[in-house]
Structure 1
Amino acid sequence: MDELQLLRDFAGPAELPARDDLTRKRAELLAAAARLRPRHRRAMWGGVTAAGLAAAIAAVVVLAPADEIARPIPAPEPEPVRILHAAAAKARALPDVTPRPDQFVYTKTRLADGRENETWASVDGTHDGLSFVFGHETFVAGCRGGKSRCVPHPAAPADLPTDADAMLAYLHKSTYGEGDTLHDLGREVVDLAGGHLRPAVRAALYEAVAKVPGLVARPDAKDATGRTVFGITWNSTTEHGIGNQDEFLFDPVTFAYLGSGMGAVVSQGIVDSVRQRP
């Protein structure tokens, strides 16, 4: 006689209960077994028929799904990686605002000594911008009209990678001519993060930085304005052997980018003309 078939005929078709019910029933079964004295346990198991034993085994199998027992516990993310991934998730949820090519990205930063700098950078790099840096007003010519040896530097670059690996490869194509070092990479990240990026691009930037080795988190860092921020740092060295510590700062609640070790971003937005402020 097939005891398992008898069990199927007796029980009939049934759907698996919810996972919470499975966990609770398994705990009740184990607790009941623990309360039995050894003599009673022997009597209980001694009187179990083959069909009953098959039913008990089936119940245990149902109550303890294999994937629940064998599922490995994931290792926690390192703190700097957790912060960067949280910043990426927040960035990806932001509205996608595309500025017009003739507009400007306005940025105001503050240094540790209290001085403030302002820049109006052309969205597409072809319009004339302006900057107030260290108290000096500087005209920034746009690249247009067939100027020789002219390369536009858009403040809101288009067609940047939206994938972390592709973004990391893009960052390694240094524009600073100092070699493929972490120092160069840090400068690239500061340049991009301080400008206007589409949400998917900004998220990819943070996820790419999360792949950089040697990251250190400073959850109680302060920026140049005195705000408490999350700081992400890594130690790097230029090709000339000069030590440098790059740092990227995030709001501890919104995870918005708040600047770098070179200065805190206190205001930023898209404007229609130079000298206009958001």
Structure 2
Amino acid sequence: MIFEVMKYRGFMQALNYYPSVSSTLLRLLPKSYAETFATHKQLTHEKVQRRIERKVTYNDLTANLLNPDHKLERYQIDGNCSTLIIAGSETTSTALSATTYYLTQYPEAKAKVIQEVRSTFQKPGEITSISVNQLKYLPACFTEAMRRFPPGPAVFPRRVPREGAWVAGHWIPGGMQVGICHFAANNSRLNFQDPKRFIPERWLGDPAYAKDDRHAMQVFSVGPRNCLGQSLAKLELHLVLCRFIWEFDWELSPESENWDHDTPVFNTWGVKPLRIFLTPVSR
């Protein structure tokens, strides 16, 4: 559902560039897009209502939104929660799938991360939000996977101030929209050596990749509007994959060969299911 919602939003954003014919183009959109978006809004409203009725006293992701001192209207609360659901679900699952997939394609990296996790933790109860911070290779695997297959690969537009501005040595007139395509920047030879290969070591000080422009990779964006949930996302990713690696051996199913090829994008990826074979680790 989330990808269909993003597809609908993408079309609606595109219509803003054609105001004279937007009403005509809107009628050409499949009804299923609008219906899916309406369903998402309704489900979000119901989730928010259940959270309100629980009247919990601890802080969670919605505590500030529901704080009466902030005087937010209900539609504003629903809208923010809708964004939290979209931004925090599909992107996280895509990052997990991409990392799992690339590890199957690069056995040496897979062996290293397995060795790190299983030698660090002797039992699953030791894997916590604090203890995973001691890992080095696993976070590098995530970073490299998100470089190769950024969960939000499209352009996040920004509008140039009215007076215009110099951007990277180019004069941009005021009012123009500018942005950087994460997928293009992350997979460019101008920024990374061997950009199409999965090499976690490039994030661990390997001198062979000292000339990589690591600052070019900003999958969580930069500045005051960067991803406010990135710390939570990284924690979730590290905990889930760490426990997964501790519990299972895995191999890619033949039907998921070239999983990262020919994938449609509407702000997020319309990823195919990642099929893998799991075997519980014998201890």
TM-score w.r.t. length of structure 1: 0.20
Rg (Cα) greater in structure = 1
- Give the alignment's TM-score, normalised by structure 2: 0.20
Structure showing the higher helix proportion among its residues: 2
